């Protein structure tokens, strides 16, 4: 068997009730929720299990909620003896990846991502920025559309998610213009996303600067497990590269497709998505297909998933 990778979702995967089964059945998961609540001075289980869509959509709630849920699930996997050879997370998910590899302490990470959410939200006034998902358009053609649309303002690639999906981000008029051009050039879909800020665009540089101040307060260690970073789509070299990477990640493109291709080239053939939702599984299957790679894809978000995984894999 090849190598196993743990991958962690980012913002947008949240839903009310996430992590509840694990909280009720595993003391290690309960401890994670309690640690988050103590550190942030809020009831994390109430937010994750009973929070309204509105509560969970607030960026400064979403980020610690997803991180807490994902780490709680990760702790359960570790108790079950399931380990990985490599790890990566999409945007916010990179913080879970850094916790899983021992780079960041969970309590530091949950406090940092709450502030990250707040800084990202505050960087651009409501209504100024937008994001759009472009489906089924060649990357080179889309980059041409972006260039053309930039007469209307800032528009950039936020996420290279898979061969079938690229997300763009920037100022409202420019994003809308790029989305219209993409449709005219043959995109299967161009959907304006229901987000509150233009994530992963240069408009968020002020958020990166504030984030850097917070990151400098945390204890950062060298990775025990290789982490593939969003900005470089390569292995994190050492603890000294952590802060520059995370600061850049706020305002630069997330190279998810390239990161997964790198993992596959390194011998990963089993990907376990840990946390709410199945978004990453869809991306990875598409990336693998495009590269003629055969991969096993598993999700862990409930007890049933865990039982299935435990039967299939013991690393």
- pLDDT, tens digit, 9 for 90 and up, residues 138-167: 999 999 999 999 999 999 999 999 999 999
The β-bridge partners of 87 are 6, 227
Q: Do 91 and 218 fall within a single domain? A: yes
Q: How many whole angstroms separate alpha carbon 253 and alpha carbon 236?
A: 17
Residues 230 and 90 sit within 8 Å (Cβ to Cβ): yes
Average pLDDT over residues 231-255: 97
Task: Report the pLDDT value the prediction gives residue 152, as an integer from 0 to 100.
Answer: 98
Q: Tell me: the pLDDT tens digits for 260-276?
A: 999 999 999 999 999 99
| Summary mean pLDDT of the chain | 95
296 is catalytic: no
Of 70, 101, 169, 200, catalytic: 200
The question of whether 200 is a catalytic residue gets the answer yes
Give the residue numbers spanning the domain of 188: 129-195
Q: What is the pTM of this model?
A: 0.96
Same domain? 48 vs 179:
no
Asked if residue 166 lies in contact with residue 123, where contact means CB atoms within 8 angstroms, the answer is no
Judge if 118 and 250 occupy the same domain.
yes
- Give the mean pLDDT of 184-190: 97
Question: Do 116 and 139 sit in the same domain of this protein?
Answer: no
Question: Which CATH number does the domain housing residue 181 bear?
Answer: 3.30.70.250
| DSSP reduced 3-state for 23 | helix
The domain that contains 82 carries what CATH number?
Answer: 3.40.366.10
Per the residue annotation, which of 37, 70, 91, 100 is the catalytic one?
A: 91
Pair 75, 29: CB distance under 8 Å: yes
Q: How far apart are CA 63 and CA 187, in angstroms?
A: 30
Alpha helix (H) residue ranges in the chain = 20-25, 27-40, 44-50, 53-57, 59-79, 93-100, 106-123, 139-149, 172-184, 205-215, 242-251, 256-265, 279-290, 303-312
Residue 222 confidence (pLDDT) above 50: yes
Q: How many domains does the chain have?
A: 2
What pLDDT is stored for residue 315 in this prediction?
43
Which tokens hold the place of 306?
Answer: 């865990």
Give me the mean pLDDT over the 229-254 stretch. 97
Residue 250: which of 280, 220, 230 has the closest Cα? Answer: 230
Percent pLDDT > 70 in the chain is 99
Residues 19 and 106 in one domain: yes
- Asked whether residue 231 falls in the same domain as residue 164, the answer is no
């Amino acid at each position: 068997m090849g190598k196993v990778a743990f991958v962690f979702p980012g913002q947008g995967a949240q839903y009310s009730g996430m992590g509840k089964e694990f909280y009720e059945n595993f003391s290690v998961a309960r401890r994670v929720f309690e640690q988050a609540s103590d550190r942030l001075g809020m009831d994390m289980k109430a937010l994750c299990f009973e929070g309204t869509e509105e509560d969970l959509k607030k960026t400064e709630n979403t980020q610690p909620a997803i991180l807490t849920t994902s780490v709680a699930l990760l702790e359960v996997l570790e108790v079950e003896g399931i380990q990985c050879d490599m790890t990566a997370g999409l945007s916010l998910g990179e913080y879970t990846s850094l916790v899983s590899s021992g780079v960041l302490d969970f309590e530091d990470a949950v406090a940092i991502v709450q502030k990250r959410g707040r800084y990202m939200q505050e960087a651009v006034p409501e209504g100024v920025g937008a994001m759009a998902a472009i489906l089924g358009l060649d990357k080179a053609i889309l980059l041409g559309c972006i260039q053309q649309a930039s007469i209307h303002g800032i528009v950039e690639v936020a996420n290279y998610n898979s061969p079938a999906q690229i997300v763009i981000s920037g100022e409202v008029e420019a994003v809308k213009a790029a989305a219209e051009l993409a449709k005219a050039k043959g995109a299967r879909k161009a959907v304006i996303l229901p987000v509150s800020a233009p994530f992963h665009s240069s408009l968020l540089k002020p958020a990166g600067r504030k984030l850097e101040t917070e990151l400098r307060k945390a204890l950062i260690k060298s990775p025990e497990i290789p982490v593939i970073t969003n900005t470089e789509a390569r292995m994190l070299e050492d603890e000294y590269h952590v802060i520059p990477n995370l600061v850049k990640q706020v305002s630069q493109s997330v190279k998810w497709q390239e990161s997964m291709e790198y993992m596959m080239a390194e011998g990963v053939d089993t990907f376990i998505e840990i946390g709410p939702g199945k978004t990453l599984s869809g991306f990875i299957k598409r990336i693998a297909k495009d590269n003629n790679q055969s991969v096993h894809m598993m999700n862990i978000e409930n007890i049933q998933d865990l039982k299935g995984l435990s039967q299939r894999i013991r690393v």
